[in-house]
Structure 1
Amino acid sequence: MPDRANRGVDMRLKGWLCLSCATMGLAAPAMAQEAKVSDQAIVVTGSRVIKNGNSSPTPLTVVSTQDIAAVQPTTIADGLNLLPVFSSPRNQYANPNGGVAGGAGGNAAANQLNLRNMGSVRNLILFDGHRVPSTSVNNIVDVDMIPQMLLQRVETVTGGVSAVYGSDAVTGVVNFITDRKFNGLKMQAQGGLSTYGDGAQYNAGLAWGKKLGERAHFEMSYEYRKDEGVSARSSRPWFRQQSVQGGGTAANPYQLFSDIRINNLPFGGAITSGALAGNYFASNGVLSPSAAGTATGSSCCTVGGTGGYYDSSLKAKLESHQLFGRLDYELGEGLNFYVSGLFNNKKNEQFITPPVTSNLTMGASNAFLASSYQNTLAAAGQSTFLFSKLFSQAPRLNPQAESEQFWVNLGLDGKLGAWDWSVAYSNSASRLSTTLHNNVNNQKLAAALDAVTNSSGQAVCYASTVNSAYAGCAPLNLFGPSSASQAALDYITGDTHLRAMTKMQDISGSLSGSPFKTWAGDVNVALSGEWRLTSYASTSDALPTTMANCTGLRYNCSANTVLWQNTYAARSRVSNTVGEVAVEAKVPLLKDLPFADALDVTGALRYTSYRTSGQYWTWKLGIDWHLSDKLRFRATRSRDIRAPTLDDLYAPSSIASLQNRDELTKITPGLDAGTSPVAGYSGGNPNLRAEVGNTLTAGLVWKPANTFSLALDGYRIKISDAITSIQGYNPTIQNACYASGGTSPYCALQSRPLGYSNTSAANLVTAWYSTVINIAEIETWGADLEANWATKLAKMPASFRFMASWQPHIYYRTPALVTIDQAGAAFGTNGLQASPKWRLTAFARFKPTDRVTVDIMERWRSAMKHSTDPTQVWVNNHVAPFATTNLNVAWKPRNGLGDAEIFLNVQNLFNAAPPATAFFGASTIPGQFGGFAIGDDPIGRYFTAGVRLKM
């Protein structure tokens, strides 16, 4: 029998790639796709010594980009997120986040991959085997930067491989692989629209490749993508201002309500103190009695009533340009040079909240207040009153994030005797420019609110009469739903900016070969080393330390008033360097025995030294046992790390105005009458260590026939010293403090005047604090199943694929806090998203004629709870299961233009609406956050038509 280690890419590898991994295509088409791959040298993702995917002890998912596009013709990330191993991604559908930075390290709509729902920071992204530079300060890659026109396949390792690739590969690796031998011309164009007539998408691209002489090959691609997004949640019939209200106790349980309104924030504004309290401006200038609506158990909100609500983006806008090029040149026999480069420009834009004005001090003789109301206040001896409003007439906060990535990668590879060697250098920069349109200037707002009548009977700003700096002030009339002038709106709002630059330089090298043989075959060994420098710096023109100048301002300005309502701190350049060396080996132990067709053991060991966070050893052991050609068993055990990011270590100190409920006094600052928002302080922690993951995988692959296969793999991942954000305003953190009577270390995350047992209004919290620490432990386990069957229906090819992920537990353990099992939860604290215990995806492909192909995909997730916190009491803590169906019909016409394909794709064929759910910690912002679980489809039925051409 020939030596298995030297077989190369044979038909069994093709069968493995096609039938034993999660290739999204169907068996026959996928096998044809992999036949093309066989012409190239295969290096299996997750190892430097395994050349045959059929011998990998680690579960490996392979998807062809052609098959991804057949069921989800949008972005590559959208297609990958159909696979059950990925869960709850942050993307264009993610809940919008406020602030000039837009969340997610600067772009709340970044397309991120999340393996096992343990966070995008814990899986590593590669491009042709090289580490992809992060696109944000939090070290997460927006995979929209990956050029798609020349992508051939995506390989995903669903297990820890830090010993092979270094930090971040705790839950796995996603490797995007290009077709480096593409010759010819490829073009595509497509457009799409939702069944509601919105969310238009356009995509066009071309790729060209050619062999230059006998030694060189060049290829390049360009792609343009535009997605208009959906700018309002109210555009969907299922949107009903869903929000969780209550206190989570037996006396006041949490409950999901619809049509939630914020009591003291009506669109026309409400007077919240004095003789006119309890009235609001239902129409411009005219007061009406407030209607409270139906109580919900939360002081902030009611069902119905005269209060206002938010209406944020449902899907962020996207526009991008991608350029990619690669040159390969054979310098001599066994010596090759390559250089590749990419440029990506991407814009995301979304709409969040209109300005919120809570308990503002207004003069009783305000020029816009009717004389009858002025007389009432004068009779009561009031010179001022408090006023609150959800300012829906003003434009919503509108963060626009523009990111540009530059990446150049060059290298040499060749042979040194029987050894293969390679060296590579990459240099990258990611520039993120975030503009927050419609940010409110607090100083100008204070000036514009204080309107007086001049000698000509006109309303003017009081400040303009005493300070020439306010000569351009336009007085603001808040008394009514549409009472403000455009001049006043323009005066109080402006654009603020964050500029951030992340850079990475990387030098790597490897040497691999077979130094000797055992009785079972060649021993393969690989030595590798890497040095990496990353840096980050940012500038901001809306600093949290820039205070308003209160000279000439009578109300709503103090020494503690920040100039802009939404701020982001700047950061001088910070950097980190890491050096790594590693060794990996594959040792054949048995061959051609009755109980072992082949038995191989693999191992890897890596030493990593970070300038900032210390030195670490990582390792991995694996076994691959081919009992026969039909049955194999595999298992791995690894120790992996994730080093703290530059943001974890050096995030600048910042301050924000928070309206989170104080669980001790039961008051919501800024929303309850007579209160103002509370300052929230946050920053990085330079004393962080790396978190350590321990992973075990074990499984089998059964292939009784060439037309059928089944793979089943179990896993267990346990992460210690997990880096987590501890937020003082988090209800769970608060309650841990109060239960201790003030002795808990979590009490240091808040400030209040009268200790931690006084529940009176006089003891309202005065500040919240947030930090990042190595404190948590995360543990999960589960199993992945895949079955594939190729057959014929009416003598025409057909194939079926079924994939399932079962993840019954995701434990988050934090000292002095109750353990949270996030599995089966729609929302959780610290940004945790939907974690259904069962995720199923099924594909079917039929070819009724040789020119027509029909693809059907069905995706289903199990029922969940709104929250799985065991300390909480709920009314109907249930989120229904959800399923969607995609249909694609492709037709290849007979023509002389080469290989052409015209397709029509329908996503969410039956227009399924996502079950209602919301986050219990977002009760005060109905319509901004929540309403559906991340991962569910909120857009509805969507049509895409297009053409693809290859010559």
Structure 2
Amino acid sequence: MFTPKTKAALLASSVIYGSLIAAPAMAQADPSIEPAAAEDRIVVTGSRIERRNTETAAPVAVVDDAEFELSGTVNVENVVNQLPQVVPGLTSASNNPGNGTATLNLRGLGAARSLVLVNGRRWMFFDTSQLVDLNTIPSFLIDSVDVVTGGASAVYGSDALAGVVNFRLRHVDGIEAGGQYSITDRGDGDRYEIHGAIGTDFSDGRGRATVFGEYYNRDSIFQGDREFSNFALGGETFGEPLQQFGSSTLPALRFNAPGSTAVNGTTFLLGSGLTIDDAIFDVGNGAARARAGDTYNYAPVNYLQIPQERYLLGGYAEYEITDWAVPYAEVAFVNNRVATELAATPVTGTFNVNLAAVQPFVSTAVFQQLQTLDARETAANAARIAAGLSPLNGAAPGVVSASLQRRVLETGSRNSLDERNAFRVLAGMRGDITDYLQYDAYYTYNRTRNANIQAGNISRSAFQNGLNGTAPTINIFEEGGLTQDMVDQISILAQNSDISTLEVASAAISGTLGDFALGAAEPVGFALGGEYRRVASQFIPDTALASGDVIGFNAGDPTEGSYNVKEVFAEINVPFETESGMRIELSGAGRYSDYSLEQIGGVWTYAGGVEFQPIPDVTFRGQYQHAIRAPNVAELFQGTAIGFPGATDPCGRPDATSGTLRDLCLANGVPAANLGRAAIIQPNTQIPALFGGNPNLQEETSDSYTFGVVLQPQAIPGLTVTADYFNIKIEDAITTISLQQSFDLCFDQFQDRANPLCDPFFAFGNIRNAEGAIDVDATPVLGGQNIAEFVVSGVDLQVNYGMDLGFSLLGNGSSDLNLNFLGTWTEESSFLATPDSDLLDCAGIFGASCGQPTPTFKWTARATLIDGPLTFSTRWRHLSAVDDDDATVDYGDFNGSERIPAYDLIDLTAAFDIRENVTLTAGVNNVFDTLPMTPTFDGIIVSNTNNGTLLGDNQEQANTYPSVYDTLGRDFFVSVDFRF
């Protein structure tokens, strides 16, 4: 798939990864300045000014189309995530968490703070968070991907705090068709793609049009298909070795590899006043048992690679009526079907069990245990009533009210199928006003609709009715005890949908101030214009999801909201040049935005930059930008939804029995007798919490600056070296503090119930049940706030070198070698949850607080040899070692790891032009099959031939971070491309 244009780019610029760098501008002999022809004008990402050269004050990294071909990549995410500037967002390996999309996360500052453009214009988003799904961009038509670091709101408006990524699509001349097939070394995870495009120039070159289509299909891989991910490691083993005997579906021979506290059998947790040595009655086994190491292994049935089927259709065209009237249009349609899969539903919570109804399903010994519970509960209620307290919920004589946990294996896995249909239409007009002025105006409408179907859910009300005698009784007391009729009785199919729209109307005038030039340099350039944007989105759950009756997937209330913004903007570029060749170029940009959101109103963003070239070999550059991000629809208007994050309730810790922590826990509704008793205060590692929007959120603000140097030594032709320092600081950042952070800040750091950070626990009524555990029916409410701060800084280094080797292996006379390196050193990647909290620097760190690993060093290097029709290339991807962020826990005690060592992958690709219009490409990624380690059967985690590390509770999913570290292993691909 190496077109003549691609090879010319490789030969001429020797840049697969590199900067947009022009040859040095020399003094002109004629002081008069001729207007540039339209075909000579360039619009560089990060500016709206059309110019003759590609130099900018801000560094621009470029991924050439050759990189997509050489890497065997069909989905855009797989190349973009290799950029050192990017911390991977959601990918094809994101099952839980995950929603079947692929997102982009520049500098690790969050996908919402990275602006995605296609051909310099905003692309359609897919949900209430206003995020772009990279699956909607046709990778085979990408000409290049430009990455601009730092805030760019002065040029593009809101959202560009971390930077801008612009995907440039190319026009096709003729007919192109091709396809690709990929498969792993283990014979699974098949992926295949076919595409075609027809393009032509017409009317003597005055018009051109391209029409395209693509089909892509990706098979699933389960975590059970890889040894490293087959067992869900975590702290539930409490330091015990892995016990891999029998089957996870047999109660008597459970795995000791944990995944959640909902085991295969049914457990009843004793409540307040019902203490028998803090034990858990395991009704399935008929005896009290210890909790440690007896949990369900959910991993095997989770996806390691989520399946996908995608159709892309579209086209774009333009026609020059006259020099001053060139109408153009774009249209795109995407149908994308993606599924995620989780283990069978874990039912947890407090239920009322009617003893008479369930007696037929339990043994005499078990029934006597339940009667003992009933007698003690009845006595406890009498004591509560005598003390003026309310009785336990539903705990009448003959009814046991207890916390219950059961993994409902009989219903099978939970599956969430998303089908997203998106379309985009754009119509515009551009042209020349004078020899020195041009205009460009367009309107675009984008709409995405997602239909989501969830199977494998359990109805909480139906489950309760099957235990309290108001409906046919369900047999939850033995594994496999639920008949098909019982399964049908408690199962529920849930559905929801998202609808999102984006409208943009934009008009701009750009050009130069005629012959007005300074110091015989190019004319002063400028751009000015206005823009109107409207965003709207809604989430529509069915009644079951909205009511919270669904167990299996998180419930959620309907969400709907919209806002608009009216903007004016301007840019200016002023070049100076002396007769000796010294060059200075100043640039500036400003934008005023008026939001329909009252709490934001009118805001300014601005930028200024300078380039200084003392000699042709060296250019210094720097830029400052002040940017903003308005809150998105989800952050503003999201309906309340329940989640079950993992956290540790401080009231269950041993130190909760004394001091200020004791006072807070008592004030929060924990009985004094239960303080410090984790088995009662926190029966599950996952604690229910409510999450929702905050309509009073204001804009985030950022200040960023970059400065660097570009070296193009004339003594070494073909060599370009760029080094740029970046510093991005975001203030008033919108963040939803995690439940664990809320616990820590309120109960451990501030210890003041009047502090706003304690509101989730004290401001919304009683959130605990009578035993002191967080109640699923009255949970903490966690919403977004403008309280956080982010700082990211470091250095980007790019080296590009191309040379003629002077010989040819195939007898073509000569061959070319291109060497390219793009790397980032991250100096700081810090997060401040609140103005008074401790700074968390995540550079070189990963874990529960920092999330995805942020290596101190990340680079991608490629060497490409071009010898006539043959192209051979190798790529080296490197991540430096990272350490866990929690110094208080040694995850080595929990079958995990405190450190992920340095990580290196090698890829090989070969392409051959069989004929002038037919190219065959084949390659292998992850040549040395580098995967995480594998646990052995003796309970000790040891290294295999690879250099990864398995993680315990400090993992994201699949015992690792699958979007960062390869989980497929050695992967082969072959593709063919035809051009006519």
The answer as to whether partners of 2:905 and 2:928 remain within 8 angstroms in 1 is yes
Match of 1:34 in 2: none
Which residue pairs with 1:330 in the alignment?
A: 320
1:780 maps onto 2:792 in alignment: yes
1:504 and 2:502 correspond: yes
Q: Report the Cα distance in structure 2 between the residues aligned to 1:244 and 1:443, rounded to whole angstroms.
A: 31
Structure 2 CA distance, aligned partners of 1:519 and 1:16?
A: 34
Q: 1:730 aligns to what? A: 741
Q: Give the counterpart letter for 1:900 in structure 2.
A: V
Amino acid at match of 1:726: I
- Are the equivalent residues in 2 in contact too, given 1:510–1:529 (CA < 8 A)? yes
Residues 449-464 of structure 1: matches in 2 within 5 Å?
A: 449=467, 462-464=469-471
Using the TM superposition, give the Cα deviation of residue 278 of structure 1 relative to its aligned residue in structure 2, in angstroms: 5.5
Q: Does 1:22 align with 2:20?
A: no
Residue in 1 that maps onto 2:58:
58
Which consecutive residues of structure 2, in runs of 5 or more, have no partner in the other structure? Answer: 1-7, 23-36, 245-255, 375-397, 654-675, 809-814, 933-947
Structure 1 unmatched ranges of 5 or more: 1-12, 28-36, 98-102, 293-299, 451-461, 465-472, 548-561
State the SS of the aligned residue for 1:592: coil
The SS at the match of 1:174 is strand
- Please state how far the C-alpha of 1:279 moved relative to its aligned partner: 6.4
| Residues 490-521 of structure 1: CA deviation (Å, up to 9, x unaligned) | 33222211112111111111111212322243
Cross-structure match for 1:749: 760
More moved, 483-492 vs 652-661: 652-661
Q: Which moved more, 1:522-531 or 1:268-277?
A: 268-277
Separation of aligned partners in 1, 2:12 and 2:459: 57
The secondary structure found in structure 2 opposite 1:447 is helix
Structure-2 separation of matches of 1:379 and 1:333: 91
Q: 2:590 aligns with which of 581, 591, 605?
A: 605
- Structure 1 residues 382-401: aligned runs within 5 Å: 382=374, 383=398, 387-401=404-418
**1:948 partnered with 2:980:** no
Q: Which amino acid aligns with 2:68?
A: I
CA displacement at 1:95 relative to structure 2: 5.0
Which residue of structure 2 lines up, in the alignment, with residue 261 of structure 1?
258
Query: Using the alignment, how far apart are the partners of 2:239 and 2:627 within structure 1?
Result: 41
Q: Which of 205, 216, 220 is the aligned partner of 2:195? A: 205
Alignment check: 8 A CA contact 1:24 1:68 kept: no
Question: What amino acid sits opposite 2:590 in the alignment?
Answer: L
Question: Does structure 1 retain, via aligned residues, the 8 Å contact 2:94–2:962?
Answer: no
Q: Show CA shifts across 1:559-585 (max 9, x none).
A: xxx365545445464211101111101
Aligned to 2:87: 87
Q: In the alignment, which of 340, 343, 348 is matched to residue 338 of structure 2?
A: 348
Between the aligned partners of 1:779 and 1:535, the Cα distance in structure 2 is 30
- The aligned residue for residue 583 of structure 1 is 570
Q: Shift of residue 54 of structure 1? A: 3.8
Aligned residue type for 2:415: N
2:492–2:550 Cα contact (<8 Å) kept:
no
Report the RMSD for the aligned CA atoms in angstroms: 3.7
1:413 aligned counterpart, secondary structure? strand
| Alpha-carbon distance between aligned partners in 2 of 1:20 and 1:136, rounded to the nearest angstrom | 36
Distance of 1:50 and 1:188 partners within structure 2? 35
1:169 maps to what in 2? Answer: 160
Any idea what SS the aligned residue of 2:593 has? strand
Contact kept? 1:88, 1:835, Cα under 8 Å: no
1:884 paired residue among 891, 900, 905: 905
CA distances 1:828-848 after superposition (whole Å, capped 9, x unpaired): 43x84221111011111124x
Distance 1:263 1:946 in 2: 42
Q: Note if 1:866 corresponds to 2:884.
A: yes
Q: How does 1:649-668 map to 2 (within 5 A)?
A: 649-656=636-643, 660-666=647-653
Equivalent residue in structure 1 for 2:308, among 313, 318, 323: 318
Contact 1:852 1:892 in 2 (8 A): yes
Task: Flag the 1:881–1:491 CA change in 2: closer, same or farther, 3 A.
Answer: farther
Is the counterpart of residue 426 in structure 1 residue 444 in structure 2? yes
Q: Secondary structure, in 3 states, of the residue corresponding to 1:730?
A: helix
| C-alpha displacement of 1:761 | 5.7
- 1:342-741 equivalent positions in 2, closer than 5 A: 342-358=332-348, 360-365=351-356, 366=358, 369-373=361-365, 376-377=368-369, 380=372, 382=374, 383=398, 387-417=404-434, 418-449=436-467, 462-464=469-471, 476-515=474-513, 516-521=516-521, 522-542=523-543, 546=547, 562=549, 566-571=553-558, 573-593=560-580, 596=582, 598-612=583-597, 613-656=600-643, 660-666=647-653, 679-704=688-713, 705-730=716-741, 733-734=744-745, 739-741=750-752
**Are the structure 2 counterparts of residues 657 and 67 from structure 1 closer, same or farther at C-alpha, using a change threshold of 3 Å?**
closer
Equivalence map 1:218-297=2 (5 Å): 218-230=209-221, 232-239=222-229, 241=231, 243-245=233-235, 260-261=257-258, 265-272=262-269, 280=282, 287=285, 292=290
Question: Residues 412-453 of structure 1, C-alpha deviation per residue, up to 9 Å, x if partnerless?
Answer: 111111211111111111112222222211122223346xxx
Q: Does the C-alpha gap of structure 1 residues 429 and 570 become closer, same or farther in structure 2, counting only changes over 3 Å?
A: farther
Aligned to 2:185: 195
Q: Is 2:950 aligned against 1:931?
A: no
Q: How far, CA to CA, are the matches of 2:973 and 2:825 in structure 1?
A: 32
Aligned length: 854
Instruction: Please tell me whether residue 824 in structure 1 is matched to residue 811 in structure 2.
Output: no
The answer for the alignment partner of 1:454 in structure 2 is none
TM-score by length of 2: 0.80
Change (3 A) 1:665 1:217: same
1:905-939 deviation digits (Å, cap 9, x = unpaired): 212111111334558578xxxx9575336411111
1:755/1:447 CA distance change after superposition, 3 Å: closer
TM-superposed CA distance for 1:212, in Å, is: 2.7
Specify whether residues 21 and 419 from structure 1 end up closer, same or farther in structure 2 by C-alpha distance, changes over 3 A only: farther
Choose the corresponding residue for 1:840, options 833, 844, 859. Answer: 859
Q: Secondary structure at the match of 2:797?
A: strand
Aligned partner of 1:184 among 152, 171, 174: 174
User: Which amino acid in structure 2 is aligned with residue 313 of structure 1?
Assistant: Y
Q: Alpha-carbon deviations, 1:628-661, whole Å to 9, x = none?
A: 2222111111111111111111112334466643
3-state SS of paired residue (1:833): strand
Cα shift at 1:826:
2.0
Percent identity of equivalent pairs: 22
Q: 1:256 to 1:328 in 2, by over 3 A?
A: farther
| Cα contact 1:345–1:402 (8 A) shared by 2 | yes
What is the alpha-carbon distance in structure 2 between the residues aligned to residue 857 and residue 715 of structure 1? 26
Partner secondary structure for residue 834 of structure 1 = strand
3-state SS of the aligned residue for 1:647?
helix
Could you tell me the TM-score, scaled by structure 1's length? 0.82
The aligned residue for residue 453 of structure 1 is none
Structure 1 letter corresponding to 2:825: W
Amino acid in the other structure paired with 2:596? R
Tell me the distance in 2 between the aligned counterparts of 1:477 and 1:463.
14
Does the CA contact (< 8 Å) of 1:658 and 1:679 recur in 2?
yes
In structure 2, relative to structure 1, the CA distance for the partners of 1:717 and 1:477 (3 Å cut) is same
Q: Distance in 1 between matches of 2:58 and 2:918?
A: 38
Structure 2 CA distance for aligned equivalents of residues 748 and 254 of structure 1? 38
Closer/same/farther in 2, CA of residues 71 and 826 from structure 1, 3 Å limit: same
3-state SS of 2:486 partner? helix
Q: Which residue of 2 aligns with 1:555?
A: none
Give the corresponding residue for 1:805.
824
Deviation at 1:123, TM superposition (A): 1.4
How far apart, CA to CA, are the structure 2 residues paired with 1:568 and 1:381?
32
Is contact 1:244-1:254 (8 Å) kept?
Answer: no
Bigger drift between 737-746 and 905-914 goes to 737-746
Match of 1:144 in 2: 135
